A and B are shown apart, each in its own frame.
Chain A
Amino acid sequence: MTSEAIKQPRARVNAPIVALLSVIGIVILVPIAGLLYLSFTSTNPPAGAAWYERFSLEQFDMLFQQVDFGKYALNSLKVSLVYTIPAVFSSMLAGYAFARLRARGAKMLFAIVVATMLIPLFVYIVPLFVVYSRLGLTNSLLPWLFWGIGGNAFYIFLFRQFFDAFPAEMEDAAMLDGLTRWGIFTRIVIPNSWTAISTVAILAFSGAWGDYLIQKVLLFNDSASTLPVRLGAGVFDPTGSVILMPATLAGVLLYLIPPVLIFIIFQRQIVQGTATSGLK
């Protein structure tokens, strides 16, 4: 009876709350609606056309005339994959080690992992640019390969949490069967960790795909440029003097498709993955 009495007011406030949540949701989506509207409308619509009569694909036409979109998209894909694949593997190895293997100094090393999580990459911008240009590694994918191999503190943290919550019995049994740690890792841990692996892979890929500054600083040659670097410079008219905002937005819209698609497909996992990361 008491629980009924408590549940009652909750049920009543529900409708206004949902209404409020919906209004806020619409406000949050306004910028995205603006992006869609501007990308799909004509720059010079016929006079007196209603908003729905302005639909046009001319911004995309203009974009493809001015920008070799496929080239930059391919470069973006390369950068993202060259980073993601080793980053997932290295971070998983380290995360597993921190969760399962006892060794002296492990605590201190993990403190370093947590501390480096708090350092933005911009702090390294001067030495990074100097070293990579001295080594001739600007406009190359190698820096991303190195970063990938080095792993990422946040992903290590996520993997450690995952393995902390993951029962070790199967691994213990395999150990008795004479498997080494490496054997356990490749034959038991990896096949049983697809949720964690895909969550981190999604985060790493989206992170590299969406990053701007480091790519702008290191990939400055047109042939090596990625989508964010090229689009960040804006799409200009053929004379090169006027920025075409709607055509730029059309490019931005296409650039957003991979992360949005990934989000729609894996939203549960992404939201859950980030939600648990903040709790411990």
Chain B
Amino acid sequence: MSRNNNLEKSDARWFRLFTAPWLIGFLLLSLAPMILGFVISLTNYNGVSPNLARFIGFANYARAFTDPNVGEAALRTLVLLLIYVPSNLFIGLSLALLINAGPRARGFFRSLYYLPSIIPIVGAAFIWRAMLNGNSGIVNNLLAAINPNWKVNWLIDFATPSLVSMSLWLALGLSTVLYVAALQTVPPELEQAALMDGATYLQRLRHVVFPLISPVVFYQVLIAIIYALGVVAEPLLLGGSSSGQNLTNVPNANVVLNVYTYQQMFLYQRFGYAAAILWLTFAGAVAVTIGLFATRKYWVHSESGNI
């Protein structure tokens, strides 16, 4: 008994020691910056001269609520979220079902589809620019072979579809792999029993497969939402014209909240304002996440209650 007690005490000591680097990192690199970000959001700090910064209360927040650009950017963020999240779910799940249905070469296709997920964002963005740019893009060249009059400025006139297609390409491997893994946990006997009962493919999918993989679907939807709300490097790198990187180069349709924040920081040196918009975005993200968790009981079947 006493030995056990000693063990537990020493366990606790080692636990504190082993988790110390992470905990200190969390306090100094996550929690403190967040608090500092909040403090900055209450000032008119310009990022260069702290001596000139003064507290202006919640003026930045008030300004954000009346800034029509913030409203528009928030709307675009929401549109991006609403296009990206369901498409990501649909593509990942469909590909996984296909891979799972083909008994041979499963591993091969899984790895093949995963390949885009390892491409760094700068790589994907330049590939997309090379394919879609208005003057000499591959897509326009191919279209010109059919009809010389077809010349589309994809990155500007179809800025959001360009952005979403790139994001989906980058993400499809990861979601496919996760769904394949989930589908493999579905006991074949269950599906066979439903088949014997005369259930159609869609019925089996809806009533047998989906409930069993719903925790993974939930996790994936959560990841996709977080991703969509965090998108920023993608639109900045995709830009709009074929010239170089420029913060003003992002077509309006792709100026989502984070891009707007970034521009406020590095284009206008409004650090206080940028920090305020960041906090509002973060609050929105937390609200969406909580909302998603609230829907859990209606569609996620889970024994463990873990994510």
Chain A residues with CB under 8 Å of chain B are: 6, 10-11, 13-14, 17-18, 20-21, 24-25, 28-29, 31-32, 34-35, 38, 90-91, 93-94, 96-98, 101-104, 106, 109, 112-114, 116, 118-120, 122-131, 133-134, 146-147, 149-151, 156, 180-182, 185, 206, 209-213, 227-228, 231-234, 236, 243, 245-246, 248-249, 252, 255-256, 259-260, 262-263, 267-268, 270-271, 274-280
By the criterion CB–CB under 8 Å, are B118 and A206 in contact?
yes
Contact with A along B108-130 (1 / 0, CB 8 A): 01111111101111111111111
By the criterion CB–CB under 8 Å, are A232 and B122 in contact?
yes
The CB with the most chain B CB atoms within 10 A, among A90, A127, A128, A146, is that of: A127
Sample of 8 further A-B pairs with CB below 8 A, known A210-B122, A275-B180, A276-B181: A21-B102, A101-B12, A129-B265, A245-B133, A245-B242, A249-B126, A256-B123, A279-B216
Counting from the closest, the 8 A-B pairs by CB-CB distance are A150-B25, A210-B120, A120-B230, A97-B18, A103-B15, A275-B181, A103-B12, A127-B33
Chain B residues with CB under 8 Å of chain A are: 8, 10-12, 14-16, 18-19, 21-26, 28-30, 32-34, 36-37, 40-41, 45, 47, 50, 95, 98-99, 101-105, 107, 109-116, 118-131, 133, 136, 138, 169, 172, 174, 177-178, 180-182, 185, 192, 195, 216, 219-220, 222, 226, 229-230, 232-233, 236-237, 242-245, 258, 261-262, 265, 271, 274-275, 278, 281-282, 289, 304, 306-307
> Which one of A34, A151, A233 lies within 8 Å of B138 (CB-CB)?
A34
By the criterion CB–CB under 8 Å, are B33 and A128 in contact?
yes
Known A130-B47, A232-B237, A234-B245; contact A181-B10, beta-carbon cutoff 8 A: yes
By the criterion CB–CB under 8 Å, are B21 and A93 in contact?
yes
In whole angstroms, what is the CA distance A127 to B282 when docked?
14
Q: Which residue of B lies closest to A22 (CB)?
A: B109
In whole angstroms, what is the CA distance A21 to B304 when docked?
34
In whole angstroms, what is the CA distance A133 to B40 when docked?
15
- What are 26 of the A-B contact pairs (CB < 8 Å)? A17-B98, A25-B109, A29-B115, A32-B127, A93-B19, A102-B11, A119-B30, A126-B37, A126-B41, A126-B278, A127-B36, A127-B37, A127-B40, A129-B265, A131-B33, A150-B21, A150-B26, A181-B11, A213-B233, A234-B244, A245-B129, A252-B122, A255-B123, A260-B115, A274-B178, A275-B178
